[in-house]
Structure 1
Amino acid sequence: MNGIILVNKPIGITSHDLVVKVRKALNQKRIGHTGTLDPIADGLMILTIGKTTKILPYIADVYKEYVCEMKFGQRTDTLDITGTVLEEKEVKFISKEELIKILNSFLGKSLQKPPMYSAKKIDGQPLYKLARKNIEIERESCEIEIKEIELLGYFNNTLKFRVVCSTGTYVRVLVQDIANKIGNFAVMTKLTRTKIDKFKLENAFTLQQIKEGNFTLISSYEVLSSYRYIELQDLTKIYQGKKMNFDFCNDEIVMITKNNEVIAAYQRNDEDGLYYCKRGLW
């Protein structure tokens, strides 16, 4: 079995738990994913099955959409509602206009420091394992981009917003930064991933549907369609990993295809203009 499956992760399990359950349901050992979701979060995850796991590097760096709810007045060690409360603060009135202005101030590129309670690894060690031992280490800030942000509602000191952001953005940290600009504390109370690139949550399958065999797989050919496809009938040189001359294009990465099947990823060398095999996908 090869292909990609869109899965609706439920609240309360880790991304690893989800992979294990799907692996068991499909009787497949080789399953990958394009990004984790915290246990508190639900929504869209893209799982790659079988040899399709080879395409992961080419679908990981995409924009993702979330709907988030945050409650003002508290700060926790995990930055979400599941953590230990560290501080509390009285919530003062803020108008809808002010909220929109503050949200819009986050549009564009900026630097964001990963939280200690995260799966990010430093020297091979996940940060959350250190955090559980009350160990905090210095983390390097990473560039992120907020492409869209929209106020969806504000009620009972709870702010609901939609955000489209780059891979690697921690929405929990964004919640904290929003609260800081307002002059208060806040915790993330709910997070749903609604979109990854062109793939939407509404087209995802539940674990129960997958267990019952009620799902469809998406081919690599459809998933990688944002790249330039170069159709070849003779794949001898491709299978041998030889460099190719595609003087009709300047794309950095191209996909070699045959009969609607992606065979390999090739990358352009700026020095000689030739394309070199980056990864075989057959």
Structure 2
Amino acid sequence: MEQGEQDKIFPKFNFSAGEVLLINKPYKWTSFDVVGKLRNSLKPLKIKVGHAGTLDPLATGLLIICTGKLTKQIDTFQAEEKEYTGTIVLGATTPSYDLETEVIPGPDVSHLAEETLKAHCQNFIGQISQFPPAHSAIKVDGERLYLKARRGEEVALKARQVNITEFELTRIELPEVDFRVVCSKGTYIRSLANDFGETLGVGAYLKKLRRTRSGNFKVDNAFEIMELVNHIRTIKTEENFS
């Protein structure tokens, strides 16, 4: 165990009664990977473990994990407002709207002025209609969309209504722009990036994404996954492991 993990003060957990665990999801881990790692570390306790709100594998940041009786509150946590930060690349697109698939170069973006880009954000504030990416985890006919997309199947996607309360650019160094967005449950930031570039006439894809907040929970208060797993393994032999 590293020194930082030894120095960290952990609360006394009661996993069976129920815990809300804040995890800083690592890059390229799926949300299920995090749940599986924690569930395995909690053996032989036979308790439920689930997450409140999926994060794409290429995203990082706050993942809320519930254990025991608190898994009944997952839907409540999942419905709360979310905050994200990230990077959008203008002047190129990808089929998945992020770096999961090949980048397709587009038009030059040097003509885009800072004031134009910032003003354009206002077009996406409020209740908007949004199509999910074809490479998403939504199920159609019992199968995840990304599986159909990988086989080259075309699926008629349905738009959904989402609410964006804040969308601002925090850095502009073309072709990249950094952003912060506050939005409702169900908002696809990949779709927001794609639509932002499409309406500018240059295309765009999401290069980086981090969930910083969900409701009142913040990533600043989250555990690193292996930091928590190592702690759980340590207390397994103690009487207060519950």
Length-normalised TM-score, structure 1 = 0.73
Offset of residue 26 of structure 1: 2.7
In 2, Cα distance between equivalents of 1:137 and 1:26: 40
Aligned to 2:237: none
**Superposition pairs of residues 111-122 of structure 1, within 5 angstroms:** 111-122=129-140
Aligned to 1:65: 83
In 1, Cα distance between equivalents of 2:104 and 2:168: 29
Q: SS of the residue aligned with 1:36?
A: coil
Aligned to 1:7: 23
Q: When the two structures are aligned, how many residues end up with a matched partner?
A: 214
Aligned match of 2:65 in 42, 47, 50?
47
Offset of residue 87 of structure 1: 4.7
Structure with the bigger percentage of helix: 2
Q: Would you identify which runs of 4 or more consecutive aligned residues in structure 1 move more than 6 Å? A: none
Aligned match of 2:146 in 119, 128, 144?
128
Structure with the bigger percentage of strand: 1
Q: Which has the higher contact order (CA 8 A, sep 6+)?
A: 2
Aligned to 1:198: 216
In 2, Cα distance between equivalents of 1:102 and 1:56: 35
- Output the amino acid matched with 1:16: F
**Superposition pairs of residues 1-282 of structure 1, within 5 angstroms:** 1=15, 2-27=18-43, 29-213=47-231
User: Greater CA radius of gyration, 1 or 2?
Assistant: 1
CA contact (8 A) 1:108 1:147 kept: yes
Cα displacement string for residues 162-201 of structure 1 (whole angstroms, at most 9, x for unaligned residues): 0001111100100011101211011111000000011100
**RMSD between superposed Cα atoms in Å:** 1.4
What are the ranges of 5 or more consecutive residues in structure 2 without an aligned counterpart?
1-14, 233-242
Offset of residue 15 of structure 1: 0.9
Q: SS of the residue aligned with 1:213?
A: helix
- Output the amino acid matched with 2:206: M
Percent same amino acid among aligned pairs?
36
CA contact (8 A) 1:25 1:210 kept: no
CA contact (8 A) 2:81 2:214 kept: yes
Aligned to 2:7: none
In 1, Cα distance between equivalents of 2:77 and 2:174: 39
CA contact (8 A) 2:82 2:213 kept: yes
Change (3 A) 1:86 1:158: closer
Length-normalised TM-score, structure 2 = 0.84
In 2, Cα distance between equivalents of 1:86 and 1:156: 17
- Output the amino acid matched with 1:177: D
Offset of residue 3 of structure 1: 1.4
CA contact (8 A) 1:64 1:165 kept: yes
What are the ranges of 5 or more consecutive residues in structure 1 without an aligned counterpart?
215-282
Q: SS of the residue aligned with 2:195?
A: helix
- Output the amino acid matched with 2:64: I
